[in-house]
Amino acid sequence: MSTPNSAAVRSLYRSILRTGHSFANYNFRSHAHRLASHRFHEHAGEKDPAKIKEFYEDGVQNLKLLKRQTIISQMYQSDKLVLEGGNAGQDASGGRLRQRSPQGWD
Amino acid sequence: MASLSVRSIGRQLRSCRLAASPAQRISRVGGARFVSQSRKLSATPEDDLPGHGFNSEQILSKVKEEAKRVGKSEVEVDAMLSPGAGVLKQATIMDSGSRPIYMDMQATTPLDPRVLDAMMPYYSGLYGNPHSRTHAYGWETEKATEQARDSIAKLIGADSKEIIFTSGATESNNMSVKGVARFYGKTKKHIITTRIEHKCVLDSCRHLQEEGFEVTYLPVQSNGLIDLAELEKAIRPGQTSLVSIMTVNNEIGVIQPMEEIGKLCRKNKVFFHTDAAQAVGKIPVDVNKWNVDLMSISGHKIYGPKGIGACYVRRRPKVRLEPIITGGGQERGLRSGTLAPALVVGMGAAAEIAARDFEFDSAHIKRLSKKLTDGLLSMEHTLLNGDANARYAGCVNISFAYVEGESLLMALKDIALSSGSACTSASLEPSYVLRALGSSDESAHSSIRFGIGRFTSEAEIDYVLKAVQERVSFLRELSPLWEMVQEGIDINSIEWSQH
């Protein structure tokens, strides 16, 4: 595979963020968001094509891992934390919609 | 012709019903698109055709009425007739959050999803015995366990041959303390430890005392650190076989001066064991820099699985110990028994992640810890237990004067906290660690430990700060002692009359 362009990297970043948000567990969800944004911003100025390719492939592996683990997290859900929103599904900190439909992809 | 027109009327009727069908409306709620929308009519047989006197909707409502009459709830009926609908209704019922925030990271940490991902293959398909040398099932699990051993060795700066897998840090501590003492027991009958060690080290020492060993329990200073001069005085050349001092304390989080202790032990030719269950993966650990001879590591304190731990046993200069568990001679003969590949691989993955994310995690934990500590200490009559500088940021132990710790824990039901070690949390006795620091009974009773970890979020810290501030002031308002303090009466000057 040739060096991924910036559009491909951005698309991977978005996919990772989106998948990470579907963790049913609050702590895993917030950690996935934090770590992904840290990783992508840390290497945002990377110019070396070999390094970019390496990070990209690492990201792809992580996306696959997230897909598997978010499914497990959704299969074995426990009750929500006290600081999580109720029916509205809002995060305590931001207004982001947190709860996703359990049956469909959107 | 006639039959054709009847069919077309039927189709019209069907499309009318479809437009108004509730299934169609639900699928549009919230903009969610389902993978395959099951049309109501294509799923039901042609019973609903007019003229047959048979309507599934009517039957359904009759069933529901009947169920209500006999006392079954509607949700259950839905679940029986259509599992999907029933589950959805249940989901909205359990939608209010009631789970406490987890702030007890010293007791145990959550299993990282990345660790679980590494473990899953060994719970589903790769089940070979890693000690089987005759077939591929054994080879593949052996390879995985050796890789895990490498990752753990790398994290503490050791060689992979020096890592022995055990069932946890408690077993590692028992193995090290009892093993070394018993092996050298014919000539050397003295060991040294501190008063703030974990219960499993103290209890092992107690057992050794019964076997005729002499044990020195070093006192600690009021900041929780040991006095090196005192340690040097306690070492008896030619008699002392082992010094066991924990790296990071589990209750107050202080970090002992490991390098200096290691130097002192090496100079006096005494083996140095450290319980680093709370330190590995959280602070930089280097067995060679510290001159550590034996080190206990726990899997579930580094976001790994429970039921696995490791013991570092130095090879050069060689540390000899008497094994507690004997048998097949696995793990260099020091700990027999088949390894659990899934757990070993999980612990290896946890160590690898801890090494890779070290900077990121510690920066996050330090930031949250500073916020929590500053916020709690800004309240009046609060005190941070343990040294302010030589400490692991993720463990914050604070005394709230004039509040009873147990009642504060009860008032903070929405936060999972502990007043000390999980092992002693069932008893109401004050923490022996805080007593060793010279805290009064009252102060030890009013102390609470906050554990911050990789998965703690800033919103959780904000919630905890607000909750603690509110409820401490509420409990103090109830207290007559607090009233007296506010009036400027010195509590210690009061002579309580006996009743």
Taking Cα atoms as reference points, which of B193, B250, B186 lies closest to residue B212? Answer: B186
pLDDT at position B159: 96
Q: What is the mean pLDDT of chain B?
A: 85
Q: Is the pLDDT of residue B90 over 80?
A: no
Q: Do A81 and B99 contact (CB within 8 A), yes or no?
A: yes
Give the distance from residue A3's alpha carbon to the nearest chain B alpha carbon, in angstroms: 24
CA-based angle B160:B166:B167, to the nearest 5?
Answer: 145
DSSP B75: H
> Which A-chain residues 71-90 have CB contacts (< 8 A) with chain B?
72-73, 78-87
Of the candidates A69, A83, A105, which has its C-beta nearest B35's C-beta?
A105
pLDDT of B178 reads 96
CA distance A97 to chain B (A): 11
pLDDT at B442: 84
Q: Domain for residue A103, yes or no? A: no
* pLDDT of residue B13 exceeding 50: no
Nearest to B91 among A84, A86, A102 (CB): A102
Q: Is the pLDDT of residue B26 over 50?
A: no
A64 to chain B: closest CA residue: B117
3-state secondary structure of A9: helix
* The token pair that represents A60 in the structure block: 């792809």
In which domain, by residue range, is A45 found?
A: 6-78
Is A2 in CB contact (< 8 Å) with chain B? no
User: Under 8 Å CB-to-CB from B194, ≥6 apart: which residues?
Assistant: B217, B218, B219, B220, B226, B245, B246
Distances (CA, A) of B327 to B59, B136, B334: 68, 24, 10
Of A28, A65, A83, the CB nearest to B459: A83
Residue B476 has what pLDDT? 92
State which H helix or E strand residue A52 sits in.
Answer: helix A49-75
Range B90-112 average pLDDT: 78
CATH number for the region B357-493 comes to: 3.90.1150.10
pLDDT of residue B471: 94
Residue A5 has pLDDT above 70, yes or no: yes
Chain B interface, best mutation among A19, A21, A26, by max B CB count within 10 A: A26
Query: Per the structure block, which two tokens stand in for B459?
Result: 């919103």
CB–CB of B41/B17 below 8 Å?
yes
Which residue is closest to B99 within chain A, CA to CA? Answer: A81
How many independent structural domains does chain A possess? 1
| B136: contact with A, CB 8 A cutoff | no
CATH for B113-354 is 3.40.640.10
How do B101-102 and B294-298 pair as beta strands?
unpaired
CB atoms within 10 A of CB B139: 14
**Does residue A87 fall inside a structural domain?**
no
Instruction: Mark yes or no for CB contact B97/A31 under 8 Å.
Output: no
pLDDT band per the 50, 70, 90 thresholds, residue B491: confident
> Do B448 and B103 touch, CB atoms closer than 8 A?
no
B124 touches chain A (CB under 8 A): no
| Residue B47 burial (10 A CB sphere; 0-12, 13-18, 19+) | exposed
For residue B311, the cross-strand partners are B164, B296
Helix (H) or strand (E) holding A60: helix A49-75
> Are the Cβ atoms of B116 and A81 closer than 8 angstroms?
no
- H-helix or E-strand containing B240? strand B240-244
CA distance B84 to chain A (A): 9
Q: Is A88 part of any domain?
A: no
Fold equal for B113-354 and B357-493: no
Contact B455 A28 (CB under 8 A): yes
pLDDT for B255: 97
pLDDT digits (tens, 9 = 90+) for B121-160: 999 999 999 999 999 999 999 999 999 999 999 999 999 9
Average pLDDT over residues B301-319: 96
Q: Measured between beta carbons, which residues in chain A are less than 8 angstroms from residue B463?
A: 82-83, 92
Query: How many CB atoms sit inside 10 A of residue A33's CB?
Result: 17
Asked if A82 lies within 8 A of B364 by C-beta distance, the reply is no
Question: Which residue among B92, B97, B117 sits closest to A80, beta carbon to beta carbon?
Answer: B97
Centre a 10 Å sphere on the Cβ of residue A92 and count the other Cβ atoms it contains.
17
From residue B486, alpha-carbon distances to B402, B444, B477, B481, B482 in Å are 11, 22, 10, 9, 6
Interface check B97 vs A, CB under 8 A:
yes
| Percent with pLDDT over 70 in chain B | 80
Long-range contacts of B287-291 (CB under 8 A, 24+ apart): B287/B156, B287/B157, B287/B158, B287/B312, B287/B314, B288/B157, B288/B158, B289/B157, B289/B259, B290/B258, B290/B259, B290/B261, B290/B262, B291/B259, B291/B262, B291/B263, B291/B265, B291/B266
> Is A106 within a domain?
no
By mean pLDDT, which of B289-298, B322-331, B415-424 is the weakest?
B415-424
3 state DSSP class of B327 = coil
Mutation for testing the A interface, residue in B37, B38, B104, B455 having most A CBs under 10 Å: B455
**Which A residues 16-45 touch B at CB under 8 Å?**
23, 26-28, 30-31, 34-35, 38
Smallest CA–CA distance from B31 into chain A, residue: A106
- Tell me the C-alpha distance between B83 and B62, whole Å: 18
How many residue pairs from chains A and B have C-beta atoms closer than 8 A? 92
Chain A residue numbers touching B35 (CB-CB < 8 A): 104-105
pLDDT at A3: 84
pLDDT over threshold 80, residue B420: no
Show me where the domains of chain B are located: 113-354, 357-493
Confidence category of residue B300, pLDDT binned at 50, 70, 90: very high
Q: How far is CA B380 from the centre of its chain?
A: 31
| Cβ–Cβ < 8 Å for B295, B287 | yes
Reading the block at residue B238, the tokens are 């030619």
Instruction: Please tell me the predicted confidence (pLDDT) of residue B487.
Output: 86
Burial state string for B271-285 with b = 16 or more CB within 10 A and e = fewer than 16: bbbbbbbbbbbbbeb
Average pLDDT over residues B409-435: 83
Here the tokens at position B158 are: 């050791």
Looking at the domain assignment, is residue A13 inside a domain? yes
Tell me what the mean pLDDT of segment B391-420 comes to.
90
Contacts of A66 in chain B (CB under 8 A): 113
Of B409, B432, B460, B469, whose CA–CA distance to B251 is shortest?
Answer: B432
- Catalytic residues of B, by residue number, are 423
Give the number of other Cβ atoms within 10 Å of residue B163's Cβ. Answer: 26
Entry pTM: 0.79
The separation between CA B23 and the C-alpha centre of its own chain, rounded to angstroms, equals 44
Q: What is the pLDDT of residue A103?
A: 43
Percent of residues, chain B, with pLDDT higher than 90: 68
In this structure, how many other beta carbons lie within 10 angstroms of the beta carbon of residue B480?
A: 8
Beta bridge partners of B364: none
- Please state which of the ranges A71-75, A102-106, B402-406, B482-486 shows the lowest mean pLDDT: A102-106
